Amino acid sequence: MTDAESFPQRKSEESEDDNTNSSTLNDLCKSNSDYFVNDNTENGQRLYTSFLTIADNLNSLAITRKKIESVVHNFDYDENTPANGYRSFLKVVDYAIAHSLQVIKKVSLKRDGVLFRKAVITKDVEACAHLLASLNNCLILLTTLLEWSSETELFPKEKRSPEEIILKTETINRYCFYGRCLGFQFCESIKPTLQMVAFAMAVFSEAYFSSGSYFTKATNSVISTATYLTDPEQRAKTIVNVSQTANIDFCKSFWFLSESELMHNLPSVIRAHAYVAVTKILLIPPKPLTLTINGQDIDIPIPESHIGKKTIQVRLISSNVREGMVGEASKKTNLPPSKGLLFHCHGGGFVAQSSKSHEIYLRLWARDLNVPILSVDYSLAPQAPYPRAIEEITYAYCWALKNCHLLGSTGETIIAAGDSAGANLLLGTCLKCATMNVPPPKGLFLAYVPTLINFVPSPARLLCLMDPLLPFGFMMRCLKAYAGTEKSSSSNDSDMSSFEEITHSDLADLQAHKSPTSEISDTLSNESFESQSLEGGNEFQNVEGLEDNNIDENVLYEAESNGSRSKINQYQDSISNSYSFIQRSLTGFVSNLKEHVGSWIPGTVQNIPEDVIHADKEKSIVDELKFEVPEDPFLSPYLASDEMLITLPPLKLLVCNHLD
């Protein structure tokens, strides 16, 4: 029996198990409510009320669920692919019931014991009651979406504004998704990681928004760390409230923690395991670029929108030194150019991350695939909103087509890969290439790709209400920063005639391609992934006018931690000293980060009152998020015509299978 043939059978078995769990949970709630009905203690009465609430919500969930289940098959891709956002939400409900069942079973087994911790278990049971109540409201909202859409369309028939759906979601208690029940919808192996991310977000917000001396900040950090470890409810309030009130710079700063010196000192075992011979940063100047395709010259537009003409930063990673590779002419190699090249774009909600934050797995790919990887550090929103990133990626791809010999590749087989925002940008790039008659990559690998960049109500989109990695407020601000109607002020449009014209301030601007943590942690980033003498650390290399016989003479500069430049051949062996950076406190790092963010974007460093961060009621964000997104097929490939879509190369999609 094939997987496709066995899938309906497995689905039937899962449905039976889910019904059994719901029935068992209902019976246990009745048993426990009868047990605690005469318990006149505060916790006893809270338990009694919670069990009644869970039972009521189970009944409501069953009624609403039947309405959705009766039509859910209409939205499947085909009969062998029973998957859509409605099914995902129903699966989330099943996981919530299973989670609640485990908690209630503990009560039934331990309620007569001497060591029964009534105060602790009361909070766990109440959390389950809130969870099921919130999911019941979610299912009610899904029935509204069904009314808005046609029989087989996931998206509404008529255009709906973001504030319309936000107003409806405000009836849903989101605190329960980030407290004791955090990660209930995920498999056990990933829950500790998600809990750590949530804990880090809460602690980081305390340091980010606090004021006062370093001593005061350090003291507050210690206190808040202890609080969030022992009080999941307070952690949940902080996460939800910060996601509702913090501006986009907080999101960028938190996500860029993965590039900080502290994080890059930790994975020493991974660094040794993922050794590569080459990892360096190349700077592509904004010069006229012409491709000759089938005897026809094609001029590639230089990126100019929003921030003017700027260098494009890319990272070259290779497990081996190959013939012709830029900056490696002095190193002996017997390896010819690879036939393949992997062109990579990182994710990060269009506002954060870089090739540096994705370098760990890119190194593994370079080793396992044995092909060079070129990863683009495109400019980030809100300083560089749409279409800047797609312009840069298209230009970088065309540059790689013409100069693949400098990357250690013949360019015979170029595959593009990206995740999340990067995957979306690659789709747009391929569509752009088709309009310019530029050959697209031979294939696409897209992980978690968003194809409709707009807050169009859909069941899958509403899953962000309980997303531990991208909370609802953060997602909306990323969307507004990248594709909203507000525009960035443009900067200098002057061209760059040579690499020598880059000033210290230009180097600082260049870091915006990567992260606001770069100026704080460049020293570590240059060394933490270094592979001894073969690797040049994170070298900044100008690739203008490079020829095979003078590569060494044109490899000019690398970046120092203080923003200055030195000749590439003056390597510094500071690996032994890098571990001293771990001793720096998180509060010091965050303070520096805030200063840099504020210096780049005057007036954006935000102070949120403590009573707002720890408030018991969520703040409405409707007024802040009134914006429109253009209906552009290069921004949202979902809107592209069939004639455009047929030009896309073969692609593979990586998606979640019911979050498990």
Q: What is the pLDDT of residues 539-562, one digit of tens each?
A: 566 776 554 433 333 332 333 333
Within a domain: 4: no
Closest CA to 429 of 479, 393, 404: 393
Residues 92-107: tens digit of each pLDDT = 999 999 999 999 999 9
Last residue of a domain, one of 129, 145, 160: 160
What was the pLDDT predicted at 550? 39
Rounding to the nearest 10 degrees, give the CA dihedral for residues 629, 635, 637, 638. -10
CATH number reported for the structural domain that contains residue 384 in this entry: 3.40.50.1820
What was the pLDDT predicted at 426? 98
User: Residue 251 corresponds to which tokens in the numbers above?
Assistant: 């999101």
Which of 310-320 are b and which e, b meaning 16 or more Cβ less than 10 Å from the residue's Cβ? Answer: bbbbbbbbbbb
Residue partners of 212: CB distance under 8 A and separation at least 6: 220
Q: How far apart are CA 60 and CA 180, in angstroms?
A: 23
Last residue of a domain, one of 160, 178, 201: 160
Amino acid, single-letter form, for residue 259: E
Q: How many independent structural domains does the chain possess?
A: 2
Within a domain: 73: yes
**Domain of 369?**
276-327+335-451+630-646
Strands (E), 346-457: 373-377, 409-419, 443-447
CATH number reported for the structural domain that contains residue 124 in this entry: 1.20.930
Greater model confidence, 532 or 179: 179
Residues 271-302: tens digit of each pLDDT = 556 789 999 999 999 999 999 999 999 999 99
Whole-number Cα distances in Å, 430 to 299, 425, 442, 522: 16, 9, 10, 33
Whole-number Cα distances in Å, 164 to 135, 144, 149, 244, 490: 20, 12, 15, 16, 33
What was the pLDDT predicted at 557? 32
In this structure, are 298 and 149 located in the same domain?
no
Q: How far apart are CA 50 and CA 46, in angstroms?
A: 6
What was the pLDDT predicted at 311? 97
Last residue of a domain, one of 101, 128, 160: 160
User: Residue 105 corresponds to which tokens in the numbers above?
Assistant: 């079973």
Element (H, E) at 389: helix 388-402
In this structure, are 444 and 298 located in the same domain?
yes
Cβ contact 136:60 at 8 Å: yes
Q: How far apart are CA 655 and CA 660, in angstroms?
A: 11
Greater model confidence, 385 or 13: 385
